[in-house]
Copies of this chain bind each other. A is one copy, B any other.
Amino acid sequence: MAVKQSSSTVAKPDGLHVLQALSDPVRLEIVRQLAANGQCMCGQLVIPVAKSTGSHHLKTLSKAGITAEREEGTSKFLRLRHAELEERFPGLLESVLRA
């Protein structure tokens, strides 16, 4: 189980936005890396696009409620919101990861 996050600060993942966010090869790759490695520092992700494009993709995933960010000092950590996604869309993430 993932650590529960304060529900007041993050929106519930919305179905259509989740699908839209996942239906991009770069974002799907980010999701795969997060799923494989657990929590990552943003800089650890291998994203095969320009930095600004990568930032845009990370923002899209975060806005859709797929990822959550946490700052610790000067580092920014990223993780999948496994528990919240599983609660709203059981099986979706696992299906997507085998896509």
Interface size on A (CB < 8 Å)? 20
On whether the beta carbons of B15 and A99 are closer than 8 Å, the reply is yes
Nearest opposing residue in chain B for A22, CB measure: B19
Copies of this protein in the assembly total 2
Chain A stretch 79-97: residues in CB contact (< 8 A) with chain B? 88-92, 94-96
Q: In this assembly, does A25 line the interface, its C-beta being within 8 Å of a C-beta of chain B?
A: yes
Find chain B residues with CB under 8 A from A92 CB: 91-92, 95-96
Q: In this assembly, does A42 line the interface, its C-beta being within 8 Å of a C-beta of chain B?
A: no
| Distance in Å: Cβ of A92 to nearest Cβ of chain B | 4
Q: List the interface of chain A (C-beta within 8 A of B).
A: 14-16, 18-20, 22-23, 25, 28, 88-92, 94-96, 98-99
